[in-house]
């Protein structure tokens, strides 16, 4: 039984390290110029009309207002997870709840980002949307490497 408990503790700690690394990578990536690259593509390469430019500015402003609280929730969930691990001696209900909170917060941020991308796309013409889609796919592929 002790071996099983040790294995569970190791698995939980590995998951925490992985989640923390993912959070760190996401934070670092968000601070890099990749969103600016997509922004550059949209505003510089797609030959937007003044109306499209205005509408995209509104979409981007709305997302910026939404993104801050979502990122704050991810940070809070990460702190909750850290505290639960520090106070536990294994895979406790508190650790599991903190892991679920962290995953939920990360998922909400990811879904909001995806909705934002589709809101941007909806402003574009079909031709512009094709180039935009290619840029989004390239960005996602580059993040996967």
pLDDT tens track for 103-125: 999 999 999 999 999 999 999 99
Q: For residue 145, what pLDDT is reported?
A: 66
The CA-to-CA distance between both ends of the chain, in Å, stands at 40
* Domain CATH for 36: 1.20.120.1490
Q: Please give the Cα distance from 131 to 127 (Å, whole number).
A: 7
pLDDT at 14 over 60: no
Residue 99, domain extent? 2-144
How far is Cα 134 from Cα 137, in angstroms, rounded to an integer?
5
Query: What integer pLDDT is reported at residue 111 of this predicted model?
Result: 94
Cα dist from 55 to 38, 44, 59, 81, 118, whole Å = 16, 15, 6, 39, 13
Give the per-residue pLDDT at 35.
52
Q: Tell me the C-alpha distance between 112 and 67, whole Å.
A: 8
58-64 mean pLDDT: 93
Q: How confident is the model at residue 33 (pLDDT cuts 50, 70, 90)?
A: very low
Closest CA to 102 of 124, 84, 75, 125: 75
Domain count, the chain: 1
Give the best-scoring range by mean pLDDT among 6-10, 118-122, 135-139. Answer: 118-122
Helix (H) or strand (E) holding 110: helix 93-122
**Two structure tokens written together for 12:** 């939980």
Residue 63: pLDDT over 90: yes
Residue 11: burial class (beta carbons within 10 Å; 0-12, 13-18, 19+): exposed
Per-residue pLDDT band for 75 (boundaries 50, 70, 90) equals: very high
What would the mean pLDDT of 35-42 be, rounded to a whole number? Answer: 70
């Amino acid at each position: 039984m002790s071996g099983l408990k040790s294995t569970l503790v190791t698995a939980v700690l590995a998951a925490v390290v992985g989640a923390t690394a993912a959070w760190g990578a996401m934070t670092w990536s968000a601070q890099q110029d990749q969103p600016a690259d997509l922004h550059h593509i949209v505003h510089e390469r797609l030959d937007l009309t003044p109306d499209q430019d205005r509408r995209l500015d509104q979409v981007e402003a709305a997302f910026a207002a939404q993104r801050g609280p979502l990122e704050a929730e991810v940070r809070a969930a990460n702190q909750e997870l850290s505290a639960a691990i520090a106070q536990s001696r294994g895979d406790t209900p508190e650790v599991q709840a903190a892991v679920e909170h962290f995953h939920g917060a990360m998922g909400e941020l990811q879904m909001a980002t995806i909705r934002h991308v589709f809101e941007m796309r909806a402003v574009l013409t079909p031709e512009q949307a094709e180039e935009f889609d290619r840029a989004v796919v390239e960005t996602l592929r580059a993040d996967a490497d």
